[in-house]
Amino acid sequence: MCVDAKTSGFNVIVFNLLFIPCSTNDNKMTTTKRAWEPVIDQMYASVFSDLNKKRFEKITLYLSIIGFLLHLILIYAKKLELIEFSFETPLLDNPISAIYTPFTIILIYEIYLLVLNLPRSFTTSVSKQFEIISLILIRRIFADIPKVDINANWFSTKENLGLMYDVLGVLILYYLIFLFNKARHKLEKKPLTDAINKFISSKRGVSLILLFVLIVLSFTSAYNWGNSLFLNNSSIDINSVFYNEFFTVLILADVLILLLSFQYTERYSQIIRNTGFIISTILIRLSFGTTGLANVSLIVSSVLFGLIILWVYNLTEKERKKRITII
């Protein structure tokens, strides 16, 4: 969407900030880069460079191994009564629970990849969101296993049912995400025009802000969890620590990107697709306020809804191309 900025005073400033200035030399529409765009692009390239990505991968690997071993040491130290803890947590009762720690660290890396992919494609970003929530569900399984009572009737205890719901949920999610990625790869790759490059620069700015907010959020969430555990001796659902706020912030970032996209597309199908993806993220966020079957159902329905939205979008694009070919 372009607007002729041949006006004066305050209107020029507003038009240059909100719209893409147009030039009509030789009857061709061109765009000019705004002053902040090269700065944003350079900052994004520095923060999310291949070198930093590889460094983060190595750090994630080393921290996962160290975290796993430390968790095991704490579990056996408690079992052997070498250390007395002032709080109670099921994560220190069974060696299987030690797998919870490396998965938590891997999830941090997945969030980094999500922020990295945010400017590239809305669909790629949503796919990464689905992968993150599936990993959260897998991580929860390792926390639930020690609570299972094998001697009891499998359907008679809440813990046994919770584990069964989580395992079935992971299987369904794995298949739905596979279908989503399969449909995603069918999307046509568009050529990079000046307008699209401007949109990408805007999304890179959102990514940088999102990364800063998530870093602050991670420290505040860790502080609040530690404070409640060590000082107040009260229990907080560790599975929802940070991720409640994370998906809330992610919804706001997705809405901001959706609003920015209105400058570059007016196609109904794209607007509906992107809005549908935001609804999927909202359903994921709502799942953190529920437990048991309701929790897994909301997570599965969020991915299923996103898959249906993408499937219908692909059908509309296919029909649109047919009409263009006929014309």
229-255: pLDDT as tens digits: 666 655 566 666 778 888 889 899 989
> What does the buried/exposed string (b/e) look like for 250-279 if buried means 16 or more CB atoms within 10 Å of the residue's CB?
bbebbebbbeebebbeeeebbeebbebbbe
- Quick one: how far is CA 234 from the chain centroid? 29
Write the CA distances from 256 to 199, 207, 209, 248, integer angstroms. 12, 11, 12, 13
Which pLDDT belongs to residue 239? 67
pLDDT at residue 264 tops 80: no
Predicted TM-score (pTM) of this structure:
0.79
Alpha-carbon distances of 288 from 124, 171, 214, 245, 284, rounded to whole Å: 23, 19, 18, 10, 7
Per the CB < 8 A criterion, the answer to whether 99 and 142 are in contact is yes
Given a contact cutoff of 8 angstroms between Cβ atoms, the answer to whether 277 and 309 are in contact is yes
Asked whether residue 9 carries a pLDDT value surpassing 50, the answer given is no
3-state secondary structure of 34: coil
pLDDT, tens digit, for every residue of 12-51?
333 344 444 443 333 333 445 567 788 888 999 998 999 9
